[in-house]
Amino acid sequence: MYIRKILFAVLFLIVGTVSAGVKIENWITADGAKVYFVENHNLPMIDISVSFKAGSARDSLKNSGTASFTNHLMLLGSGGIDEVSLANQFTDIGAQLDSSFDRDKSSFSLRTLSEKKDIAIKLFNQVLHKPDFNENVITREKKRYYASIRQGETEPSSIASKAFMKAIYGNHPYAFPESGTVSTLESIKRSDLKSFYSNYYLSNHLSIVIVGDVDINAAKEIAEKISLGLPNNPKASFYPEVQITEPQEIKISHPSTQAHLYYGGPVVKRGDPDFFPLYVGNYILGGGGFVSRLTGEVREKKGLVYSVYSYFMPMLELGPFQVGLQTKKDQIDEALALVKKTVKDFIQNGPTEKELQAAKSNMIGGFPLRLDSNKKIIEYISMMAFYNYPLDYLDTFADQVNAVTVQKIKAAFQKRVDMNKFSTVIVGIE
């Protein structure tokens, strides 16, 4: 009981006292790109991140992989400068260029010392504006894609994840594997990459985030130059809404020692009004590391797994709610039954008041940890910019979390999380 006292003291201490402490400026460039900017002179460096709505959901079934391959090729030669010279020019000034990719986004990031910013940004713009899509590089990189895809076909986690997305998304583009398939990639030509680039690397679908050692006037100039010259097409379409598929139970054999389980379905979009009750609720159910219910039931009490988790991944269209775990093959039925029982109980009864208080105090008290480096700030704010979060999101985060109640979690889960529609994928049955 000694410890419990401390627990309450802690709750009392932190709720409501934490402010975001990050001031975001925002504007739209002349070419229609959204810009979020955080000025911060603590270190002599600048981070820039740009994201286009050019993820794999832009692919069709026939040309699946085009979006990913475009993103990949953009780092490998531009403006007539070959990949080696280009990469060396970045390295020679100590700048770091990187790219990332998922179903919704194609992103590029630059980290540079402030003293090298002019040359670094010039190179970065060249990468964004003038990709060469060199034929030889295409041929070579296709082989690497094939190898990686075929390797994935032998790995249980990769098999399971592809089967799961296919099961829950049916014909929707979210069902396509992000990197495509060997047969679709084989048919992709240089002209396909060029037209994908000009169709989807649009200034009005671009979000730019700048964090670090630069003032607002310089940041404005940087953002203008990034968006300048990219096509602006207000009529550019979005992909369709997700249709919920029939629940499926897919079991695939594999010579692994563990079986891999994925369980869930499409549930939540970015900007969803139920987001906070679902998000806080999931922290209690399976998102909160060692203190979540799923970890407690499946790992701590039974010793069935090393890792078990659940998450909601809000996307431009309905993103998945997903539970995942791996366990020794002969324990998979027991583990799945326990997962279903735990999720079902949570939907029916919601969390306890005590669990909710603990969740709130973690999320609110731990908020500064989400923004304690320029790298984390730019990642967080890029997500906000891309998905159109309100500018006061960081400032109102604590209030939004605080407003969640046991009843609201229960209601949101009962309305949104329908186990009758969930699919199950197990790879590694005996």
Partner 1 sequence: MQLFKLLFLLILTPSVVSAEVHEATLNNGMKIFVKEDSRSPVVVSQVWYRAGSIDEVNGKTGIAHVLEHMMFKGTKTSRPGEFSEIIAAAGGRENAFTGADYTCYFQQLEKSQLPVALKMEADRMQNLIITEEEFNKEINVVMEERRWRTDDKPTSKANELMQSLAFVSHPYGRPIVGWMDDLENMHYSDAQEWYNDWYAPNNAILVVAGDVSSTDVFKLAKKYFGNIPSRKIKERKPQIEAKQKGVRRAELKAPSKLSYIQMGYKVPALDKNLDKDSTEIYALEVLAGILSNTSTSRLNQNIVNNAGFAVSASASYAMLTRGGLSLFELYATPSEGVGVEKVEKALKDELAKIVENGVTEDELSRIKTGVIAGDVYQKDSVFYQGMQIGQLETMGYSYKLMDQYTNNIKKVTSEQIQMVAKKYLVDEALTLVTLDPQPLDPNYKPQGKPHVH
**Contact letters for partner 1, residues 107-136 (x by CB under 8 A):** ----x-x-----------------------
The phi and psi torsions of 427 (rounded to 5 degrees) equal: -115, 125
Compute how many residues bind partner 1; rule: CB under 8 A: 84
Min dist. Cβ of residue 312 to partner 1 (A): 19
Burial profile 203-212: b = 16 or more Cβ within 10 angstroms, e = fewer: bbbbbbbbbb
Nearer to partner 1, 93 or 244 (CB): 93
* Cα distance between residue 267 and residue 320, in whole Å: 6
Lookup result for tokens 């949104």: 416
Cα 238 to Cα 11, 235, 286, 303, 316: the distances in Å are: 44, 9, 32, 45, 9
Residue 16 touches partner 1, criterion: CB under 8 A: no
Q: Are strands 249-253 and 423-429 parallel, antiparallel or unpaired?
A: parallel
Q: Is 415 near partner 1 (CB under 8 A)? A: no
CB of 291 to partner 1, least distance (A): 5
Segment near partner 1 (CB under 8 A); pick from 100-108, 183-191, 254-262, 343-351: 254-262
346-384 residues labelled b (16+ CB within 10 A) or e (exposed):
bbeebbeeebbbbbbbbbbbebeebbeebeebbbbbbbb
Distance CA 419, CA 343 (A): 8
Q: Interface with partner 1 includes 304 (CB under 8 A)?
A: yes
244 counts as binding partner 1 under rule CB under 8 A: no
Q: Which is nearer to partner 1, 107 or 204 (CB)?
A: 107
Residue 235 touching partner 1 (CB under 8 A): no
21 near partner 1, judged by CB under 8 A: yes
Residue 29 or 107 having the CB closest to partner 1: 107
In 3-state terms, what secondary structure has residue 411? helix
How distant, in Å, are the alpha carbons of 127, 161, 241 from that of 179?
Answer: 21, 13, 22
Per-residue CA distances from 45 to 223, 283, 350, 367, 374 (Å)? 17, 34, 46, 24, 9
Inter-residue contact 271 to 387 (CB < 8 Å)? yes
**Residue list 172-231, contact with partner 1 (CB under 8 A):** none
Q: CB count, 10 Å around CB of 9? A: 10
The continuous run of DSSP H or E covering 415 comes out as helix 406-416
Answer yes or no whether residue 92 interacts with partner 1 by CB under 8 A.
Answer: yes
CB of 157 to partner 1, least distance (A): 9
Segment contacting partner 1 by CB under 8 A, of 1-9, 26-34, 56-64, 267-275: 1-9
94 lies in the binding site for partner 1 (CB under 8 A): yes
The distance in angstroms from the start CA to the end CA of the chain is 47
Site for partner 1 in 65-84 (CB under 8 A): 83-84
Residues 142-171 that bind partner 1 (CB under 8 A): 143-144, 146-148, 150-151, 153-154, 156, 163, 166-167
**Cβ nearer to partner 1, comparing 95 with 409:** 95
337 binds partner 1 (CB under 8 A): no
Stretch of residues binding partner 1 (CB under 8 A), selected from 30-38, 312-320, 368-376, 409-417: 368-376
How do beta strands 249-253 and 319-328 pair?
Answer: unpaired
Strands, sheet with 45-52, edge to edge from the N-terminal-most edge strand: 25-28, 34-39, 206-212, 45-52, 106-113, 96-101
As a whole number of angstroms, the distance between CA 25 and CA 43 comes to 19
Residue of 102, 129, 228, 296 interacting with partner 1 (CB under 8 A): 296
For partner 1, which stretch binds (CB under 8 A), given 98-106, 139-147, 215-223, 336-344? 139-147
Q: How far is the CB of 209 from partner 1 (least distance, A)?
A: 15
Q: Least distance (Å) from partner 1 to the CB of residue 42?
A: 5
Paired with 131 in beta bridges are: 78
Q: Is 43 in the site for partner 1 (CB under 8 A)?
A: yes
Residue 87 interacting with partner 1 (CB under 8 A): yes
Residue placing its CB nearer to partner 1 in the complex, 44 or 390 = 44
Task: Rank residues 204 and 258 by Cβ distance to partner 1 and give the closer one.
Answer: 258
